[in-house]
Amino acid sequence: MKLFTFRIGGVHPQEHKLTADIPTKEAALPKAAVFPLGQHIGAPARPVVKRGDKVKVGTLIAEANGFVSAPIYSSVSGTVAKIDTSIDATGYRQPVIIINVEGDEWEEGIDRSSELESMEAHPELTAEEIIERIKIAGITGMGGASFPTFIKLCPPPTAKAECIIVNAVECEPYITADYRLMMEHAAEVLVGLKLLMKAAKVEKGYIGIEENKPKAIQLLTELTVEDSQITIVPLAMKYPQGGEKQLVDAVIGRQVPAPPAIPVNVGAIVQNVGTVFAVYQAVMKHKPLFERYTTVTGEHIKQPGNFLVRMGTPFKDLIAACGGLPDGDNKVLAGGPMMGKSVISLEVPVTKGTNSITVLTDADAHRKPIEPCIRCGKCVEVCPMGLEPYLLATLSAFKHYERLEHEDVVSCISCGSCQFTCPSHRPILDNILQGKGVVMGRIKARNQK
Ligand code: SF4
Ligand code: SF4
């Protein structure tokens, strides 16, 4: 089997895919569900419900508030308890809608049957209709970045889409939610890809899967053997193979230039496999985005697993369903160990971008003492963006923001490969992130003048 990969850098963290063979279970309903209004890139949604309102599963509770924004739907039935503020997975307090759960009553228009809806059965669906349904359903990228999906399907006039690339790589250690989704709903994912191809008016679709998921590669290859429009692309195991730019390079051999360029500037629209499934459900089943596949995992978690989770469910409920936290100190991450963020409260809810809850013990997460940089160049060697991480980290630490911008810090994709590989255990990414935040703020302020 020929394996494809990106051309610069990369590392090989241990896989820890503990939950790969565990079928997905439906998570129990929470007592109360918490919906942050800003769970996507862009303007936070605007509430359309008030305290005391009754809602059902699939009721609109907050509308999009601007072009780059997305609506939010209730994942539960019950009564709006309050509109308040709460800490989310980023650690910042932000406005939320809290709904007390009563029963499980769904909006009537949602098709809950498992019958597969094919493209052939729906010739009436136009590109515009598909994009509109994706927009109305509140679909955002489900691999972590949470960018509103419909916008990616409407590229600027200067760019032309030539293909859809489905990101089914899941290269972060531990996480298996996308893998389980592919194994359990491959047919729906393929219809979702066809819908996206029709919406973007392209003739070619690719699904990129890492070689450590041979069963998924085999299943999807068998299902598409007679479809010349779809190609399954086996990828070498190398982190961050699932980075958007790395995936485009690996699959179609084109390099996306530095920001503000995006993949469509080289002809590709990239969508996470969870997003593709959500597109199928929105367009074919009239189901807005209110639940998702999430892995709950960690070497010391008693019963790790994969769950279909209603958004708004607190992390603590899912961790309890897996046997609770291990004894001693733990670090709980929203996401995996390379790019995940540690949460400061287990009340944090699952949102559209929560692909995993990863629990590391103090021993797993313990950082070794920081030593001086020995100029070994390993961080440069592994950086998939061709940057000089040791330099960016130093410039950030000394607040040399102009030079930092000049050195292209905005191209950093926060993959953590530099920090992972550093023999001196230097907090390279921590420093870069701080400096990148300042530089992005300065660029934004300059553009608003
Ligand atoms: S975190 Fe940024 S600087 Fe470090 S390896 Fe990844 S892209 Fe390069
Ligand atoms: S890997 Fe660490 S020690 Fe080596 S050059 Fe980079 S920062 Fe310095």
Query: Does one domain contain both 279 and 384?
Result: no
Does residue 383 have a known ligand-binding role? yes
List Cα–Cα distances, 15 to 70, 346, 405, in angstroms: 34, 25, 34
Per-residue DSSP letters for 395-447? HHHTT-HHHHHHTTGGG-----HHHHH-TT---HHHHHHHHHHHHHHHHHHHH
Determine the distance separating the centroid of ligand 1 and the alpha carbon of 214, expressed in angstroms. 28
- Whose CA is closest to atom 8 on ligand 1? 383
Determine the distance separating the centroid of ligand 1 and the alpha carbon of 245, expressed in angstroms. 13
Q: Please report where in the chains the tokens 């990148």 appear, as a residue.
A: 436
Query: Does one domain contain both 273 and 402?
Result: no
Query: Does one domain contain both 145 and 256?
Result: yes
Query: Does one domain contain both 281 and 386?
Result: no
Does residue 412 have a known ligand-binding role? yes
**C-alpha–C-alpha distance, residues 150 and 135, integer Å:** 5
Closest atom of ligand 1 relative to the 240 alpha carbon = 6
Instruction: Check residue 67 and give its pLDDT.
Output: 86
- Express each pLDDT in 260-284 by its tens digit: 899 999 999 999 999 999 999 999 9
Instruction: Check residue 261 and give its pLDDT.
Output: 92
- Whose CA is closest to atom 4 on ligand 1? 418
Is the C-beta atom of 11 inside 6 A of ligand 1?
Answer: no
Per the domain annotation, does 291 fall within a domain? no
Does residue 171 have a known ligand-binding role? no
Query: Does one domain contain both 270 and 393?
Result: no
- Supply the CATH number for residue 239's domain: 3.40.50.11540
Number of domains into which the chain is organized: 2
Per-residue DSSP letters for 346-371? TTPBP-TT--EEEEEEHHHHPPPPP-
Dihedral of CA atoms 423, 429, 432, 434 in degrees, nearest 10, equals: -130
**C-alpha–C-alpha distance, residues 289 and 154, integer Å:** 20
Domain boundary among 270, 285, 300: 285
Query: Does one domain contain both 415 and 279?
Result: no
Query: Does one domain contain both 407 and 280?
Result: no
Please choose from 368, 370, 376 the residue to mutate so as to test ligand 2's pocket, defined by most ligand atoms within 8 A of CB.
376
Per the domain annotation, does 39 fall within a domain? no
Query: Does one domain contain both 143 and 280?
Result: yes
Q: Select from 273, 254, 310 the least CA-distant residue to 56.
A: 310
Confidence class of residue 364 from pLDDT cuts 50, 70 and 90? confident
Per-residue DSSP letters for 62-97? EE--SSS---EE-SS-EEEEEEEEEE-TTS-EEEEE
Interval 186-201 mean pLDDT: 98
Is the C-beta atom of 376 inside 6 A of ligand 2?
Answer: yes
**pTM (2 decimals)?**
0.96
Instruction: Check residue 363 and give its pLDDT.
Output: 86
- Whose CA is closest to atom 2 on ligand 1? 412
Q: Indicate the residue type of 340.
A: G
**C-alpha–C-alpha distance, residues 130 and 186, integer Å:** 20
Query: For residue 181, how far is the Cα from the chain centroid?
Result: 14
Answer yes or no: are the C-beta atoms of 117 and 103 closer than 8 Å.
no
Is the model's pLDDT at 88 over the cut of 90?
Answer: no
Residue 136: phi, psi to the nearest 5?
A: -65, -35
Domain boundary among 285, 311, 329: 285
In this structure, is the dihedral angle defined by the CA atoms of residues 371, 377, 379 and 385, taken in order, positive or negative?
positive
Per the domain annotation, does 181 fall within a domain? yes
Query: Does one domain contain both 246 and 387?
Result: no
Instruction: Check residue 1 and give its pLDDT.
Output: 85
Instruction: Check residue 449 and give its pLDDT.
Output: 79
Query: Does one domain contain both 391 and 256?
Result: no
Please tell me the number of the ligand nearest to residue 376's CA.
2
Per the domain annotation, does 257 fall within a domain? yes
- Express each pLDDT in 115-163 by its tens digit: 999 999 999 999 999 999 999 999 999 987 789 999 999 998 889 999 9
Is the C-beta atom of 397 inside 6 A of ligand 2?
Answer: no
Task: Return the SS3 of 265.
Answer: helix
- Express each pLDDT in 312-344 by its tens digit: 999 999 999 999 999 999 999 999 999 999 999
Task: Return the SS3 of 140.
Answer: strand
Query: Does one domain contain both 144 and 272?
Result: yes
Per the domain annotation, does 78 fall within a domain? no
Is the model's pLDDT at 216 over the cut of 80?
Answer: yes
Secondary structure, 3-state, 303-328: CCEEEEEECCCEHHHHHHHCCCCCCC
Closest atom of ligand 2 relative to the 371 alpha carbon = 3
Average pLDDT, the chain: 96
Instruction: Check residue 427 and give its pLDDT.
Output: 96
Is the model's pLDDT at 355 over the cut of 90?
Answer: yes
Closest atom of ligand 1 relative to the 382 alpha carbon = 5
Per the domain annotation, does 120 fall within a domain? no
**Lateral strand order in the sheet of 46-47:** 46-47, 60-63, 72-73
Please choose from 368, 420, 424 the residue to mutate so as to test ligand 2's pocket, defined by most ligand atoms within 8 A of CB.
424
Does residue 418 have a known ligand-binding role? yes
Q: Residue 258: which domain range?
A: 127-285
Per the domain annotation, does 334 fall within a domain? no
Determine the distance separating the centroid of ligand 2 and the alpha carbon of 419, expressed in angstroms. 8
Domain boundary among 285, 312, 346: 285
Closest atom of ligand 1 relative to the 429 alpha carbon = 1
Per the domain annotation, does 362 fall within a domain? no
Does residue 322 have a known ligand-binding role? no
- Whose CA is closest to atom 8 on ligand 2? 373
Please tell me the number of the ligand nearest to residue 436's CA.
1
Determine the distance separating the centroid of ligand 2 and the alpha carbon of 377, expressed in angstroms. 6
